[in-house]
Amino acid sequence: MNAKNGDVGGAPGADGEQMKEHLRAAKDAAASAARARARQARDWASSQIDDLQQQVEARPYAASAWALGVGFLAGVLLMGLVRGSRRSRFWG
């Protein structure tokens, strides 16, 4: 008989069971939706990788040039970080 919580009598067991069933159904619906989103994301990623592989196979020299350029930029950035950390140790 707690009027604050909305329980003003009646069968508390039936309301509790109904609430449990509602929560189970909501949990199942949420899990199903999450699995569907994960499946959709996996399918999208797979199609993107397949497209990339086809592009690389169609133009291998362009893919090699891109890889070389990305590697060069990564090296320049890495050397900038290494040099910057050395300077900060000696000057600061």
39/74 same-domain check: no
In the predicted model, is pLDDT for residue 1 greater than 90?
no
Joined together, the tokens standing for residue 41 give 């994301």
pLDDT tens per residue across span 22-76 = 999 999 999 999 999 999 999 999 999 999 999 999 999 999 999 999 999 999 9
17/1 same-domain check: yes
Domain total of the chain: 2
Cβ proximity of 33 and 25 under 8 Å:
no
11/22 same-domain check: yes
Query: Could you give the CA distance from residue 56 to residue 48 in angstroms, rounded to a whole number?
Result: 12
pTM comes to: 0.50
69/47 same-domain check: no
6/45 same-domain check: yes
- Residue 39: which domain range? 1-58
Residue type (1 letter), 80: G
14/50 same-domain check: yes
In the predicted model, is pLDDT for residue 7 greater than 60?
no
24/37 same-domain check: yes
